[in-house]
Amino acid sequence: MSDRYTVISADCHAGADLLDYKPYLEKRYHDDFDLWAATYVNPYEDLLADAADRNWNSERRLAELEADGIVAEVIFPNTIPPFFPSGSLMAPPPTAEDFERRWAGLRAHNRWLADFCAATPGRRAGVFQILLGDVEQAVKEIRRAAAAGLKGGLMLPGTPPGSGLPELYSRTYDPIWAACAELGLPVNHHAGSASPPLGEEPAARAVFMVETTWFSHRALWHLVFGGAFRRHPDLRLVLTEQGSGWIPGVLGMLDYYHGRLVAAATKADTAEAKFGAGLADGMGAPPSRVWRDNCFVGASFMRPHEVPLRDRIGVDKIMWGSDYPHDEGTHPYTREALRFAYPGVPRDELAAMLGGNAARVYGFDLALLDPIAAKVGPTAAELAEPLTKPPADATSPVFARGASVRVW
């Protein structure tokens, strides 16, 4: 056995440069694209900087990840696809007038992503995108993307309050769950995609930071209480970049309400009976059991105070991520971040969280990756040495004050 860890980042981001999406658009949209691109103003400083090409420069990306000890990655979107006002992850649902063109833009991104992943066979799992406003079209794109080799699965858009979309617990989306379950594709729900618009007041960004993960957590209880996992037992849900320390407490809360409402449904003469009516038949097992059977967490830059909860979360459920190339990610200090977060964790548990679990969920071939990791991965001795002080210029929250119980 190699003395190095095989590290797979379950949370990275990529996308094409704006004009490079055009060849991936259906030709009937090319004129519209030219007009749109000619007047579009990119709102993101990091996509205008010299480092922006980390999103699409395959060779640079591979070299930087290897230098950081990472041999494979799950890729979520980052840049702006055609006809979107901003990055698709956080863009509001389209209007009826924008819907067709937005769909064309996402299909273009998915085609580009398939080529980007094919450039490094076996080392990238691309997460493809859909819109929820047309379920039949979404299922077609799921099947097309899977056939194109995008094994990272589906990125589930949010249904924020005011979106006009059916809630995620609705059976409207059953064809989507069925297709993903049939094809063995995980459904990924990334933080940031489910928050409602908050306006432009000075406090808006602070409120967004406080609330965004909670709005993303909602997908868990919507699908659980909606019975999606009972109707589709092979469905897998991955909650990414939402933290992980919240999971034990939330599962306890959900189990409490499950038990309380199921019990109330058997007592027709109580005021609570109406809240539990049909719940047991609809959803089945308690939420904690559903978590054990069907759910995972993309625990990006897992923080020191979360690590002691790993047994309650499930060591086999946790997938570490670097969040490359974002400023809050661990690059170029991934080794330091791992030493800071995981001192004293047994090697087999750390190996599972750093790569083994992601390989299982996303279908990476460890026989391909292990020899690469034997050259570039962090060593067991290196990660066993606790980090006593973070790098002075590190920007990841994993090193932030308040991210740990330690006192500097």
Does some domain include residue 406? no
Amino acid at 241: E
Domain that holds residue 198: 7-399
Q: List, in order, residues 6 or more apart from 266 with CB less than 8 Å away.
A: 276
Instruction: Please give the Cα distance from 195 to 214 (Å, whole number).
Output: 9
Q: What pLDDT is recorded for position 256?
A: 95
Does some domain include residue 231? yes
Does some domain include residue 190? yes
Q: Are 370 and 2 in contact (CB under 8 A)?
A: yes
116-165 pLDDT, tens per residue? Answer: 999 999 999 999 999 999 999 999 999 999 999 999 999 999 899 889 99
Q: Are 54 and 60 in contact (CB under 8 A)?
A: yes
Q: What pLDDT is recorded for position 205?
A: 87
Domain containing residue 315: CATH number: 3.20.20.140
pLDDT band at 115 (very low <50, low <70, confident <90, very high): very high
Name the packing angle between helices 247-265 and 287-294 (round to 10°).
Answer: 130
213, pLDDT greater than 50: yes
Does some domain include residue 408? no
Q: What pLDDT is recorded for position 402?
A: 56
Instruction: Please give the Cα distance from 88 to 328 (Å, whole number).
Output: 19
280, pLDDT greater than 90: no
Number of domains the chain contains: 1
332-372 pLDDT, tens per residue? Answer: 999 999 999 999 999 999 999 999 999 999 999 999 999 99
Of the candidates 376, 301, 364, the residue with the CA atom closest to the CA atom of residue 72 = 364
CA angle 122, 123, 128 (to 5 degrees): 90
Does some domain include residue 364? yes
Q: Are 341 and 319 in contact (CB under 8 A)?
A: no
Does some domain include residue 404? no
Q: What pLDDT is recorded for position 407?
A: 30
320-339 pLDDT, tens per residue? Answer: 999 999 999 999 999 999 99
Q: What is the pTM of this model?
A: 0.95
- Cα torsion angle, 361, 362, 365, 368, sign: negative
Does some domain include residue 407? no
Does some domain include residue 343? yes
The label of the residue with tokens 């659980």 reads 224
For a pLDDT cut of 90, what percent of the chain falls above it?
80
What mean pLDDT do residues 15-34 have? 97
- Residues, the chain, total? 408
